């Protein structure tokens, strides 16, 4: 028996590999993007209450009604159109499922989908799983700006969609108005569907405010907006995401979601209502905590001699190690990441693993910093001791 041809096109995530490597070497894990601090108490308590009150069977496949109602309320305000809980909202098992389902629902075999690289590692596989073709457009270090001319040049008669992540993993970019205007042009000129991954919408710096591309007038009826709770509420293991889509897309998304997972975990969906109802003070505290973490990790990386742009959103930094005063500074990113985990005791992700494009991501590694200050300080001590 052979596995499907599709599976020859991608392999298991390098990020998960790096987490295993961190465990093997007892390294501080700044590779995979999950917090080492806990989910807010009221949200955990809501999950326990939901289980004890008997919310333990399948939910309606596209989502537990109070959660869909809450999401519809939030997204009506955010997107500026009337998001209906029964028509436009699908609760998924994480943003990952949301992306796979959205992509499968619109692409036919051979269709092309634009992706910006560096990219989160499930973007290209989401196209392959639909027997479609991801077409990558590079964002260049160190600014990682989206160049509209490059985006336009990547379009062919087969292009059907674009998948856009903002705030962006792994660069920390928040695409600005000029860049989004470029996306709008290319999407409209070519009658594309835009799929947005906005999982880091609540992790922003320096007073930035998230604007969903799907709220912009020309994109309203052609954008599938995907969000999730894992990052905002430090509960990546709960596997909760959602897709907000105009009706013509939502029906297909729900059908695929039904046959893929039936539904997300019912008691956790009930507790997600409590998460989304957290007071403004929680979000303010989260923002303030992330500013502290960002300042500390940037100070450490600069002190050690890495070159890195300060993130505008999300919780990652792409850092160039080529100027470090150590012989390993000439290693390729994968070898350097192995050296980091085994010899330095800090696990990171090789920068080139976020690109399929040849020659990109050289001499870079990604640090994830959703960690306690004490964890970052400990990582800093190891980095300073071994790399400086
Ligand atoms: C851009 C992006 N999208 C999606 C995901 C996965 O989200 P989830 O855990 O909700 O499936 C991640 C996780 O790191 C991410 O960075």
pLDDT in tens, 52-63: 999 999 999 999
Write the pLDDT tens digit of every residue in 255-270. Answer: 999 999 999 999 999 9
Which three-class secondary structure state does DSSP give residue 112?
strand
Ligand 1 atom nearest 170 alpha carbon = 16
Whether residue 14 is predicted with pLDDT greater than 90 in this model: the reply is no
13 confidence band (pLDDT: 50, 70, 90): confident
d(C-alpha 187, C-alpha 194), whole Å:
7
How confident is residue 388, by pLDDT bands cut at 50, 70 and 90?
A: confident
Q: What ranges do the domains of the chain cover? A: 5-32+281-387, 41-276
Q: Ligand 1 centre from 96 Cα, in Å? A: 6
Give the model's pLDDT for residue 143. Answer: 96
Q: Into which CATH architecture does domain 5-32+281-387 fall?
A: Alpha-Beta Complex (3.90)
The model's confidence at residue 126, banded by pLDDT at 50, 70 and 90, is very high
Q: Is the CB of 96 under 6 A from ligand 1?
A: yes
Q: Within the chain, how many helices (H) and strands (E) appear?
A: 12, 13
pLDDT of residue 356: 95
Q: What is the pLDDT of residue 75?
A: 98
CA dist list (Å): 284 to 166, 167, 277, 280, 288: 20, 18, 14, 6, 6
Atom of ligand 1 minimally distant from the CA of 236? 9
Per CATH, the number for 41-276 is 3.40.640.10
Determine which residue's CA is closest to atom 14 belonging to ligand 1: 33
Alpha-carbon gap, residue 24 to 35, rounded angstroms: 19
CA atoms within 13 A of residue 317's CA, in its CB half-sphere: 24
Q: How many residues does the chain have?
A: 388
Angle subtended by helix axes 266-276 and 65-79, to nearest 10:
40
pLDDT greater than 80 at residue 293: yes
Cβ contacts of 2 within 8 Å, gap of 6 or more:
none
Q: Which of 228, 240, 268 to mutate to test the pocket of ligand 1 (most atoms within 8 A of CB)?
A: 228
Nearest atom in ligand 1 to 93's CA: 11
The tokens describing 344, both together, are 């330095």
Q: Which residue has the tokens 């159109």?
A: 81
In this predicted structure, the answer to whether residue 185 has a pLDDT above a threshold of 90 is: yes
Beta strands 316-320 and 193-197 are: unpaired
Q: Is 197 in the pocket of ligand 1 (CB under 6 A)?
A: yes
- pTM for the full model? 0.97
CA 208 to ligand 1 center in whole angstroms: 21
- Mean pLDDT, all residues of the chain: 97
């Amino acid at each position: 028996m052979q596995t499907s041809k599709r599976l020859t096109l991608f392999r298991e995530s390098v990020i998960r590999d790096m987490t295993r490597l961190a465990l093997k070497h007892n390294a501080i894990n700044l590779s995979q993007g999950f917090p080492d601090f806990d989910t807010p108490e009221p949200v955990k308590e809501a999950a326990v209450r939901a289980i004890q009150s008997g919310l333990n069977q399948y939910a309606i496949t596209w989502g537990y009604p109070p959660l869909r109602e809450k999401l519809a309320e939030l997204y009506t305000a955010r997107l500026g159109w009337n998001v209906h809980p029964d028509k436009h909202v699908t609760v998924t098992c994480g943003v990952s499922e949301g992306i796979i389902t959205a992509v499968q629902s619109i692409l036919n075999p051979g269709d092309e989908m634009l992706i910006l690289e560096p990219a989160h590692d499930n973007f290209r596989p989401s196209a392959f799983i639909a027997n479609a073709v991801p077409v990558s457009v590079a964002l260049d270090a160190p600014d990682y700006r989206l160049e509209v001319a490059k985006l336009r040049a990547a379009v062919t008669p087969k292009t059907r969609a674009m998948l856009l992540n903002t705030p962006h993993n792994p660069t920390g970019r928040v695409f600005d108005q000029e860049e989004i205007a470029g996306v709008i042009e290319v999407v409209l000129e070519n009658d594309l569907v835009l799929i947005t991954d906005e999982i880091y919408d609540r992790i922003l710096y320096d007073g930035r405010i998230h604007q969903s591309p799907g709220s912009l007038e020309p994109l309203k009826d052609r954008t599938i907006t995907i969000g999730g709770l894992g990052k905002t509420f430090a509960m990546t293991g709960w596997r909760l995401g959602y897709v907000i889509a105009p009706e013509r897309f939502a029906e297909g998304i729900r059908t695929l979601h039904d046959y893929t997972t039936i539904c997300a975990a019912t008691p956790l969906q009930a507790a997600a209502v409590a998460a989304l109802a957290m007071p403004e003070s929680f979000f303010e505290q989260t923002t303030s905590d992330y500013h502290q973490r960002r300042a500390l990790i940037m100070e450490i990386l600069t002190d050690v001699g890495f070159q890195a742009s300060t993130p505008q959103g999300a919780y990652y930094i792409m850092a160039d190690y080529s100027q470090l005063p150590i012989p390993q500074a000439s290693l390729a990113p994968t070898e350097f990441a192995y050296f980091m985990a085994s010899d330095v005791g800090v696990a990171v992700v090789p920068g080139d693993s976020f690109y399929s494009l040849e020659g990109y991501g050289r001499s870079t590694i990604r640090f994830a910093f959703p960690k306690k200050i004490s964890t970052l300080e400990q990582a800093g001590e190891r980095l300073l001791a071994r790399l400086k």
